[in-house]
Amino acid sequence: MKQVSLIFNLFLSIAVAILFYLHFSEGKTNESLNNDKNSIDQVAPVEKSTNSIVYVNSDTLWEKYELIIELQNQLAETKRAKESYLVSKGQKLEEDAYQFQMEASQMTEPQMILNQAKLQQTQIDLQSRQEQLMEEQQRIEKNFYDEQQAMGLKIRDELTIILKQYSVDNGYQVILAYSALSDLLYAPDSLDITTDLVNSLNAKYQADNAKVE
């Protein structure tokens, strides 16, 4: 049914929108800055800065921090499973509705009169299933959003813990996140600690995983 397809499309749109929103609630990094930092593997680590204020390219952090990559993969798998579930239920509803319409169209007028109560009940059941599917879609949408929020909080908590020690070890008083929507309009490359920070984050992530194993 068309309404079921619209429901599923709405779910996908919201899921994608949330995913981008969780990208630290920041926009895509300024193109001029990205030209020098397209791949962290292609940029040599910066020397230790003597400046007390430095910045991090949040887009690169999002793309290269292994904890974020793992959580994104988990979220993508959850998304695929929920999509498949909704599609399956929507298709079954469409098939049953089509079958009902075909059977009803093939009935003679006396048959329709004789089976009027049954036809009305089937129509009511189909409508009820459609409403239930809409409600279930809304529940899934909320759960998916909650999982997104939990992922964002886990990342921020992990970063907060690491950055406190990282700033002490390197003599930084302020670490800014650079993005097109941030208040940081310009900063020289010498203040960019993205490569070193990502390497430190991934080293800790790998060490923590090794302890768990």
pLDDT of residue 187: 86
Q: What is the pLDDT of residues 81-123, one digit of tens each?
A: 999 999 999 999 999 999 999 998 999 988 888 999 999 999 9
183-to-9, 26, 177, 178 alpha-carbon distances in Å: 35, 11, 9, 8
Q: Residue ranges per domain, the chain?
A: 2-212
User: Largest Cα–Cα distance in the chain?
Assistant: 92
Q: What is the pLDDT of residues 43-57, one digit of tens each?
A: 444 444 456 899 999
Query: What average pLDDT does range 176-191 have in this prediction?
Result: 85
Cα–Cα distance measured from residue 105 to residue 174, given in angstroms and rounded to the nearest whole number: 72
Query: What average pLDDT does range 60-73 have in this prediction?
Result: 92
pLDDT of residue 213: 66
Q: pTM value?
A: 0.62
Give yes or no for residue 130 having a pLDDT over 70: yes
Cα–Cα distance measured from residue 62 to residue 69, given in angstroms and rounded to the nearest whole number: 8
pLDDT of residue 50: 55
Cα–Cα distance measured from residue 176 to residue 49, given in angstroms and rounded to the nearest whole number: 14
Give yes or no for residue 143 having a pLDDT over 50: yes
